[in-house]
A and B are shown apart, each in its own frame.
Chain A
Amino acid sequence: MKFRERLRGKRENVKHGIWRAVCAAACAMILSACGSKEEEIPMGRYADREVKMPGAGFEYMHSCPDGSYYLFGNDVDLTHVAADGTVSSDKWDWENNANIHVKFSYGVSNGGAVIFGYTPMFYSDEEYEAYAAEGDSRYLYYYVSEEGDRHPLELYGPDYRKATNLEEFAFAPDGRVYAASASCVYRINVESGETESLFTTQSQVREFAFVGDTMLALDKDKVYLYDMAGEKPLEDNSVLNEFAASHQSGRIVLAVADQASDAADNQAAAAVDGDNSTVLYLACRTGLYRYVWDGSVIEQIADGQMIALGDSQYNPYALQILDNEQFRVYFSGNYMVEMYYDETLPARPSKELTVYSLEENGRVRYAGRLFQKEHPDVLVKYETGMDGDNAVSREDALKNLNTRILAGEVPDVIILDDIDMEQYADKGILRELDDFLAPYEEEGILYQNILEGMRMTEKNKIYGVPMTVELPLYLGEKKYVNDMQGLDGIIAGAELAREEHPEGPLIDTPFQENLFNIIIPICLPAWSKEDGSLDTESLTKFYQAAVRLWELDSEGLSEEERLKWQQNLEDEGSDLTNIMFVQYEDYYNIGETWIALGYLKNAWYGITNLHTRMENYRDDYSYYKELEDEAVYGRMTGQAGNVYRARTITGLCEQAPEPDLGEEFMELLLSDGMMQKWWLEGQFDGGIPIRKESVASILDINNHAFAEIKGWNANDISQMYKEIFWPTEEELQWLFDTMEESNCCYRTGTLLEETVREVGFRVLEGELTPEEGAKEVERKMAISMDE
C-alpha cells in the first residue's frame, strides 16, 4: 500500500515537474529573446581611398620600408613611387637587349635591384628547339643590380631543374634572394646563378616576409618558417598556420612592422606589445589582421566587408605599412587603395542594405562596391543563394530565401534572374515599381517598351526592371536566312543549308539543350493563353519544330562525331557560353555553322562584329565582314512576337527594412555612369542597356580608343590581333530600332520552361511524339496549378 502511495506521489511530482520544465524553457526563450537589445555603436573604423596608379599594365608591387614602392609588369618600365608621390621610372630597353617576350615573375629589392623570369623571343627554329629541349615553357631569368648592371641569370644547382619555373622572388634584408617554385623554396646567388633548394612546400609559395633572421613563406594553406642564419627550417607556428588554412579564398599578404620606427611612431602600441616585439600585419579577403610575433592570437583590425579587401573581384598582391597606422594594399588588376583609420565613422555602419541574387552577378557586385564607397555609413551586403560547385541546388537556395522571407527578414533589393517573379509579386513580397519608374517614363530615359513587357498581366503593375536585354538574332548567308520569320522560317533556312552542305553541323547545337536555349526564349511567351492556361497547340508546333531542327542538325553528324564534338567542348570548359578567342585544335567549330542563331549579348564590340559575342556562334574571325554582301542578319523570331531576354531583373521588396536605400541602389544601377562602367570594364557580358543614352554612347566610336581586339591563339600562346569593324550609321539605327520594337519579355526561371525542357529531351529522343509531349507538359503543369 505504502508503495502505491509513493508511486502516486511521484506521479504528482512528475506532473508538476513537467509544468516546471515548460515554464523554465519558456522563460529561457523569453530571456534570450530580450537579451538582444539595442546598444550604442562605438565610433571609429578603417576606411579606404583608391590610389591613382601612375600608369597601366602593372602586375607587381614591392613596398619599401620608407613608404615608397616599386611597380613592375610585363610591358612596362620599373616605376618607383616615392613616399611623397614623386614618380620616376627606369626606361631600360630590355625587350630588345634580352630577347624578352613575356615577363612572368618579378622581384624587386628596396634599393631597386630587379630579378625576373621571362619567356624568350625566337628568331629561328633552332633557337626554339635549343630552348624547348629543356622544357618548352620554362622561364629564363634576368638580373639587374641596384647599380644598373644587368645580366641574364643562368640558374644551376644540385636540386634545381631548368624546367622548374620560379614564380615568386624576394630580396631578404640580408641581401640574399629567395625564390619559390610550385613545390620548393630556393636561395639564389644573383652573381653566379647558383641555386640551392631550402625546403619543399605543398603548393606554390605566394608571399615572403622576413622577421629578423626568420623567413616566412606562405603557400595556399600553410606558413613555412625558415631560420636564415642557422639555415634550417623552424618549427611551425600553429597560429599562423591555422589562419592560413582558414583563409583560403584569395591570397593572404603580409607586412612586417619595422620595430624601430614602429616604436617611435606609435608609442602606445609599442607599450602594449612590450618593447621588442615585432608586429605582423596580414591582409586577405576577410579583412586586415594584426599579429604580435609569436603571440597566440591574430586580431582583426578591419573587417573586409567594409573595405576594399572584401571585394572578391580583386585579389590582394601586396601590403605596405605606412605611418600613422595607415596601410596600402596593391591588388590584382592594377588597383591600389590606402586604408586609414577614420574616427568619424561608426565602428559598424548603422544601416544595412541587403541585395540578394540567386547566382553571382558581377554587375550587381560591382554596383554594390560602388554604393558602399558612396555610403560609408551603410554596410552593403550582397548575398548569393548558390555559389560554386556544391550540393546546393536552385530549389534549396530558393527554400533558404523563402525561409528568410517568411521569417520576416526581407532583403532590400532582389535580383530576379532565374526566380519566378510572378510568384513573389503575387505573394506581396515585391513592391510595385510604377511610381518609382514614373520620372523615368516622363523623361523617356529608359526603353519604355521593354518596361511595358515586364508588366504582370494580372495586376497590371511592374515589379522588376531588367538592367539589360539580349536580342535574338540570326546571322548567315543571304540565301539561307534572308528575312527569316518564325520557326518555319528557321526550318526552311536550315533545310536549304542542309541540302547544300550535307556534312557537318548546321546550327551549332552540340547538345540538345543548346537547341532549347536558342528556340525556347522566342517561343515561351506564346504558350500561355490569356487565362493563364497552356496553349497545347502551339507547344505541339514548337516540339515539332524542335524535332525537325534536331533531325536536320543530326543528319550531317554521326553519333560518334557528335560525341567527340561534345567532349571537345567540355574539355575546353564546360560553360558553353564562355568560349571566346579559343581556336579549337580539331573538329567542328566555328565557321562551320551555316545559320547562326543566338542572342546579342554585347554591343561593345560593335554590331558588325556582333557574332563574336553571340552565345551560339563563336567565331573569332570576322566571318560576316568577309562574306560582305552575302551575309545578312536580323531579329530572330519564333512563335512569340518581338522577344527580348531580360537580364539582371531588379526588384525592390515590399517590407524592406531600408526602402530608401533600396531605391537609391536601383537608381545607381539605372544611372548612365553605371551602365557605361559595366561596358567599359568589359568584364560583364550580358546584353544591351535599358537606358537609351547609354546604348548610344557605348556605340559611339569616339568614346573608344580601340582599333583591334587582342586574343590568344590556343596553339602556341602567341597573341593575335583582329581588326574591329565599327558599325555604320545604318547598322546602329537598326539596333536602336530593334530595341524600340522589343516588347515581349522572356524571363528565365519559370516552371513552364523547366517542364518544357525536361519533356523536350524525351521528345527529341523520340520517346514521345510532339503531341504527347505537349500533353505531358499540360499534365505536369496542371498539378502545379492545382497546388
Chain B
Amino acid sequence: MKGKWRFRWMNRRLLFLLPGFAGVMVFYLLPFLEVVRRSFLRSGNRAFVGMDNYNAVFHNAAFVLAVRNTAVYMAVGVPLLMVISLLLAMLLRNLTTKRKFVSAMLLPMAVPAAVMVLVLRILIDRQGAVNGMLAGITEHFASLPVFEGIDYLNSGWAIVIVLCSFLWKNTGYMVILWLAGLSALPKEVEEAARVDGANKWQNWHYIIRPGLSGTTFTIGMLSVLQIFKSYREVWMVAGSYPQENIYFLQHLLQNWYLKLEFDRMAALTVLLSLVLLVVCLCLQKRLEQNGG
C-alpha cells in the first residue's frame, strides 16, 4: 500500500511538466526536428545532400552581411534596452504611481504593427515630420547650413531608426520584467543596509545587483527574442531588400522562403539554434555559479 502511494507521489511531480512538455513536443520540438531533417535534404526533390546546405549557407555573401548586421543590432540594441529599462525600473520601483507609468510605456506594444509603421513613415520619411522639425530649427539659426532633409531609411541612419523604434517599442516591456525581478528582492535587507549607512551605490552593488542576476538572464534572452520579433515592422517599413545595414538574418530567411529555398533556411536555423543553445547553457552555468 505504501509503496504504491510512493510511486504515485513520485510521479506527481512529473505531472507538472508533462502536459506542457507534451504540447511543446508536438507543436515545437517535432517541427524543429523536421527542420533539422530538412536541413540535410534538397528543397525540391528532397534528396539527401549531406552538408551541402550548410556549405551553401557559409559560402553565401548575403549570409555574411546578414550575420554582421544582426550582430551589430543585437550588440547595441540588447544592452541599451536592458540598461535604459533597468534605470527606469529602479526609478519606478518606489513610486506608488508606477503602474500608470508602466501602462503608458507599454502602449507602443499594444498598437497594431500596421499603424506603428504608418506613424513611423509619417515621422521619418525624407519629407516627414522629423525632418520638418529639423528644418524648422535650422531655419532659425542663419549660421547653420541649409537643411536638405535626411532620407533615413536609405542611408546609414537606417540602423539608428531601427534601433530607436526597437527601444521605443520595447522599453515598457522590459521595465515590467525588471520590476517583477526587483519586487522579489527582500526589502528588509536593503532597508537594514540603509540604516547601517550604506549609500545608494553600495546598496546597488552589494544587494540589488547580485539579486538580479537571474532576471538579467531572462531579460537578456527576451531582448534577443524581441529583436527577432521586430522583423515584421522593419520589413513593412523598408521592404524585403532594405538599405544594406538593416538587412538582417530575418530578411535572408524570409527571402529564402519566398524563393522556396527551405533547405538553406533549415540549415541556417539549425546553426542559429546551436549558437543560441550554447550561449543559453553557458549563461545558465555562470548564473548557477554566481548563485551558488
The A-B contact count (CB < 8 A) is 94
Q: Which residues of B contact A21 (CB under 8 A)?
A: 14, 17-18, 21-22, 25
When the two chains form their complex, are residues A767 and B126 in contact, meaning their CB atoms are under 8 A apart? yes
When the two chains form their complex, are residues A787 and B21 in contact, meaning their CB atoms are under 8 A apart? no
Q: Which residues of A contact B143 (CB under 8 A)?
A: none
Give the docked Cα–Cα distance between A531 and B270 (Å).
33
A-B contact pairs, 14 of them (CB 8 A): A9-B10, A13-B11, A14-B17, A17-B17, A21-B14, A21-B17, A21-B25, A22-B25, A24-B22, A395-B240, A402-B257, A429-B44, A767-B154, A783-B244
Give the docked Cα–Cα distance between A402 and B259 (Å).
8
Q: Which residue of B lies closest to A406 (CB)?
A: B262
A-B pairs, 9 with minimum CB distance: A17-B14, A786-B61, A786-B62, A25-B25, A428-B44, A13-B10, A787-B62, A780-B241, A427-B260
When the two chains form their complex, are residues B258 and A405 in contact, meaning their CB atoms are under 8 A apart? no
Q: Which residues of A contact B43 (CB under 8 A)?
A: 406, 427
Q: Which of A12-27 contact B (CB under 8 A)?
A: 13-14, 17-18, 21-22, 24-26
Q: How far is the CB of B157 from chain A (nearest CB, A)?
A: 14
When the two chains form their complex, are residues B21 and A405 in contact, meaning their CB atoms are under 8 A apart? no
Instruction: Give chain A's interface secondary structure class.
Output: helix
Q: Is B239 an interface residue (CB 8 A)?
A: yes
A28/B26 contact (C-beta < 8 A), A9-B10, A767-B151 known: yes
Q: Is B247 an interface residue (CB 8 A)?
A: yes
Instruction: Give chain B's interface secondary structure class.
Output: helix
Q: Which of B198-257 contact A (CB under 8 A)?
A: 235, 239-241, 244, 247, 252, 254-257
Q: How far is the CB of B146 from chain A (nearest CB, A)?
A: 15
* A424 partner, pick from B114, B151, B260, beta carbons under 8 A: B260
Give the docked Cα–Cα distance between A391 and B126 (Å).
25
Q: Which residue of B lies closest to A654 (CB)?
A: B44
Give the docked Cα–Cα distance between A447 and B43 (Å).
35
Q: Is B103 an interface residue (CB 8 A)?
A: no
Cβ contacts B86-128/A at 8 Å (1 or 0 each): 0000000000000000000000000000100000000000100
Q: Is A570 an interface residue (CB 8 A)?
A: no
17 more CB-based (< 8 A) A-B contacts, given A767-B154, A784-B62: A21-B14, A21-B21, A21-B25, A391-B114, A402-B257, A405-B260, A427-B260, A428-B44, A751-B241, A762-B151, A762-B154, A767-B126, A783-B65, A784-B241, A786-B60, A787-B60, A787-B256
Give the docked Cα–Cα distance between A29 and B30 (Å).
10
Q: Which residues of A contact B26 (CB under 8 A)?
A: 25, 28-29
When the two chains form their complex, are residues A17 and B18 in contact, meaning their CB atoms are under 8 A apart? yes
Give the docked Cα–Cα distance between A9 and B7 (Å).
10
Q: Which residues of B contact A391 (CB under 8 A)?
A: 114
When the two chains form their complex, are residues A395 and B61 in contact, meaning their CB atoms are under 8 A apart? no
Q: How far is the CB of B95 from chain A (nearest CB, A)?
A: 38
Q: Is A10 an interface residue (CB 8 A)?
A: yes
Q: Which residue of A lies closest to B61 (CB)?
A: A786
Q: How far is the CB of B278 from chain A (nearest CB, A)?
A: 22
Give the docked Cα–Cα distance between A618 and B32 (Å).
55
Q: Which residues of A contact B151 (CB under 8 A)?
A: 762, 767
Cβ contacts B125-137/A at 8 Å (1 or 0 each): 0100000000000
Interface residues on A, range: 35 or more
Give the docked Cα–Cα distance between A395 and B103 (Å).
34
Q: Which residue of A lies closest to B242 (CB)?
A: A780
Q: How far is the CB of B196 from chain A (nearest CB, A)?
A: 36
Q: Is B13 an interface residue (CB 8 A)?
A: yes
* B11 partner, pick from A17, A29, A399, A423, beta carbons under 8 A: A17
Q: Which residues of A contact B235 (CB under 8 A)?
A: 395
Q: Which residues of B contact A423 (CB under 8 A)?
A: 259-260
* A10 partner, pick from B10, B30, B239, B252, beta carbons under 8 A: B10
Give the docked Cα–Cα distance between A342 and B25 (Å).
47
When the two chains form their complex, are residues A787 and B126 in contact, meaning their CB atoms are under 8 A apart? no
Q: How far is the CB of B16 from chain A (nearest CB, A)?
A: 10
Q: Which residues of B contact A24 (CB under 8 A)?
A: 22
* B62 partner, pick from A13, A405, A762, A783, beta carbons under 8 A: A783
Q: Is B289 an interface residue (CB 8 A)?
A: no
Give the docked Cα–Cα distance between A428 and B259 (Å).
12
Q: Which residue of A lies closest to B112 (CB)?
A: A391
Q: Is A398 an interface residue (CB 8 A)?
A: yes
Q: Which residue of B lies closest to A780 (CB)?
A: B241
Give the docked Cα–Cα distance between A755 and B30 (Å).
38
A395/B254 contact (C-beta < 8 A), A14-B14, A786-B62, A787-B259 known: yes
Q: Is B290 an interface residue (CB 8 A)?
A: no
Q: Is A779 an interface residue (CB 8 A)?
A: yes
Q: Which residues of A contact B247 (CB under 8 A)?
A: 783
When the two chains form their complex, are residues B10 and A399 in contact, meaning their CB atoms are under 8 A apart? no
Q: Is A90 an interface residue (CB 8 A)?
A: no
Q: Which residue of B lies closest to A423 (CB)?
A: B259
A406/B241 contact (C-beta < 8 A), A21-B22, A762-B154 known: no
Q: How far is the CB of A563 from chain B (nearest CB, A)?
A: 14
Q: How far is the CB of B34 from chain A (nearest CB, A)?
A: 10
Cβ contacts A388-428/B at 8 Å (1 or 0 each): 00010001001100100110000000000000000110011
Q: Which residue of A lies closest to B126 (CB)?
A: A767
Give the docked Cα–Cα distance between A787 and B239 (Å).
16
Give the docked Cα–Cα distance between A554 and B11 (Å).
79
Q: Which residues of B contact A10 (CB under 8 A)?
A: 10, 13
Give the docked Cα–Cα distance between A17 and B17 (Å).
9
Q: Which residue of A lies closest to B154 (CB)?
A: A762
Q: Which residue of B lies closest to A776 (CB)?
A: B154
Most buried by B among A9, A395, A427, A787: A787
* B258 partner, pick from A14, A395, A783, beta carbons under 8 A: A395
Give the docked Cα–Cα distance between A402 and B11 (Å).
44
Q: Is A758 an interface residue (CB 8 A)?
A: yes
Give the docked Cα–Cα distance between A287 and B21 (Å).
42
Give the docked Cα–Cα distance between A398 and B256 (Å).
12
Q: Which residues of B contact A13 (CB under 8 A)?
A: 10-11, 13-14
* B252 partner, pick from A395, A751, A787, beta carbons under 8 A: A787
* B21 partner, pick from A18, A28, A406, beta carbons under 8 A: A18
Q: Which residues of B contact A765 (CB under 8 A)?
A: 126
Q: Which residues of A contact B10 (CB under 8 A)?
A: 9-10, 13
Q: Which residue of B lies closest to A765 (CB)?
A: B126
Q: How far is the CB of B271 from chain A (nearest CB, A)?
A: 16
Give the docked Cα–Cα distance between A780 and B151 (Å).
17
Give the docked Cα–Cα distance between A783 and B247 (Å).
9
Q: Which residues of B contact A399 (CB under 8 A)?
A: 254, 257-258
Q: Which residues of A contact B114 (CB under 8 A)?
A: 391
When the two chains form their complex, are residues A783 and B241 in contact, meaning their CB atoms are under 8 A apart? yes
Give the docked Cα–Cα distance between A405 and B257 (Å).
11
Give the docked Cα–Cα distance between A786 and B60 (Å).
6
When the two chains form their complex, are residues B60 and A406 in contact, meaning their CB atoms are under 8 A apart? no
A779/B260 contact (C-beta < 8 A), A13-B10, A427-B44, A786-B61 known: no
When the two chains form their complex, are residues A14 and B13 in contact, meaning their CB atoms are under 8 A apart? yes
Give the docked Cα–Cα distance between A767 and B151 (Å).
9
Give the docked Cα–Cα distance between A780 and B241 (Å).
6
* B22 partner, pick from A25, A405, A755, beta carbons under 8 A: A25
Q: How far is the CB of B77 from chain A (nearest CB, A)?
A: 22
When the two chains form their complex, are residues B255 and A787 in contact, meaning their CB atoms are under 8 A apart? yes
When the two chains form their complex, are residues B13 and A402 in contact, meaning their CB atoms are under 8 A apart? no
Cβ contacts A750-787/B at 8 Å (1 or 0 each): 01000100100010010100000000000110011011
Give the docked Cα–Cα distance between A783 and B151 (Å).
21
Give the docked Cα–Cα distance between A424 and B260 (Å).
8
Give the docked Cα–Cα distance between A93 and B65 (Å).
80
Q: Which residues of A contact B256 (CB under 8 A)?
A: 787
Q: How far is the CB of A5 from chain B (nearest CB, A)?
A: 12
Q: How far is the CB of B13 from chain A (nearest CB, A)?
A: 7
Most buried by A among B21, B126, B241, B252: B241
Q: How far is the CB of B245 from chain A (nearest CB, A)?
A: 12
* A398 partner, pick from B17, B60, B258, beta carbons under 8 A: B258
